[in-house]
């Protein structure tokens, strides 16, 4: 599992994650597994599928990028990255969620995620967000969770606002929302 080599920082101390620690969050009918090397093709296919459905403002997959290279590039930008699976079907990746852009001084971090279109509107991302928010508060000492989305992604903005995020900044191309934990 080469993708979980990271340090989790706490307010008073730091520690290295251990191979013996559970790298799974679960509740609300979903299971979040830390992305592993074995998941790289499914992770790549997730984003290729979402891009085909026109759900992203621009494809995150670079021209001629392999599944392994794509996954490594995305992982390198995240503090934590999980695959989303249903509790009753834990072998199928249906989405992902991540923590990134951690600001240690202000105790803020960004949350991002995506779901295959057929799984939207079923409370899956809301359950994932609740698990990740609790993890961020406990493991990173996060006090503010942020979301950054395209100004044309009305579904993402509506979801964030429904989850208690408030608009912080808006430009012609992006909207930044935040929520106190």
High-pLDDT (> 90) share of the chain, %: 67
Tens-place pLDDT, residues 125-149? 999 999 999 999 999 999 999 999 8
Among 58-62, 87-91, 171-175, the range scoring the smallest mean pLDDT is 58-62
Residue 16 has pLDDT above 60, yes or no: no
Question: Is residue 135 classed as helix, strand or coil in its secondary structure?
Answer: helix
111-120 mean pLDDT: 92
- Please give the domain boundaries of the chain with CATH numbers for all domains: 23-180 (3.40.630.30)
Look up the pTM and report it: 0.83
Residue 36, token pair as written in the block: 């592993």
């Amino acid at each position: 599992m080469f993708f979980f080599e990271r340090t989790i920082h706490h307010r008073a101390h730091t520690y290295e994650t251990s191979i013996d620690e559970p790298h799974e969050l679960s509740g609300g009918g979903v299971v979040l597994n830390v992305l592993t090397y074995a998941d790289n093709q499914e992770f790549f296919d997730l984003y290729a599928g979402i891009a085909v459905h026109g759900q992203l403002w621009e494809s995150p997959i670079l021209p001629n990028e392999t599944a392994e290279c794509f996954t490594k590039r995305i992982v390198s930008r995240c503090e934590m990255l999980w695959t989303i699976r249903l509790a009753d079907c834990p072998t199928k990746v249906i989405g992902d969620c991540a923590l990134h852009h951690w600001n240690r001084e202000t105790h803020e971090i960004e949350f991002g995620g995506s779901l295959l279109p057929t799984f939207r509107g079923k409370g899956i991302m809301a359950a994932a967000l609740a698990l990740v928010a609790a993890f961020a508060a406990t493991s990173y000492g996060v006090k503010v969770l942020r979301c950054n989305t395209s100004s044309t992604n009305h579904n993402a903005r509506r979801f964030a606002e429904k989850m208690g995020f408030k608009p912080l900044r808006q430009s012609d191309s992006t909207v930044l929302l935040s929520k106190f934990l």
